[in-house]
Amino acid sequence: MLINVSYNNKEITRKVDAEVGKPFTLKERWAMGGIGSPRLFMTETNIEIRNLLILDNNRDQCNVEIRPKGIIVRFRSLLETFALVIPFYKLTIYKGDLAIYSIYRDHYFIKVQADTKAVQKFFRKLLDYKADNAPTSVEDL
């Protein structure tokens, strides 16, 4: 789900928390070694996100936050902040040629550069967390 999160709206916060879980506590964040990605530079996106990004002339960048049941990819356009909310069961990540990671949810996708060790380390942490916390049966969903 692609939503505008620029303003403090309880309804939007409730929807996001229902989809990917409430944010980790400070103790959990410390134990995990952080839950946020370094700055990620976007190389390609689907048309809906691209239409938002071309409104300004800034370099297209985003960051990823790990939540208990998914991730949130945040990016800015003009003075607005948008979030692509992806639960783990809809999250697909591919590592392509030339150090590019592709993040997919249904028809949305964002391709980011993985040109530093910090970015590669974050994606390894994300994939490990997803694997460790994936439901093992249909009843767990």
Chain segment 100-112, per-residue pLDDT in tens? 999 999 999 999 9
> Bridge-partner residues for 111, per DSSP?
44, 102
Considering the domain boundaries, does residue 140 fall inside one?
no
Residue 68 maps to a domain: yes
Split into its structural domains, the chain has a count of 1
pLDDT digits (tens, 9 = 90+) for 64-79: 999 999 999 999 998 8
Question: For residue 99, what is the domain's CATH number?
Answer: 2.30.29.30
DSSP assigned state of 14:
H
Long-range CB contacts (within 8 A, 24+) of 112-120: 112/40, 112/41, 112/42, 112/43, 112/62, 113/40, 113/41, 113/43, 116/38, 118/38, 119/37, 119/38, 119/40
Q: Is residue 141 part of a domain?
A: no
Q: Kindly report, residue by residue over 29-41, the tens digit of the pLDDT.
A: 999 999 999 999 9
Q: Does 138 have pLDDT greater than 80?
A: no
> Is 27 inside a domain boundary?
yes
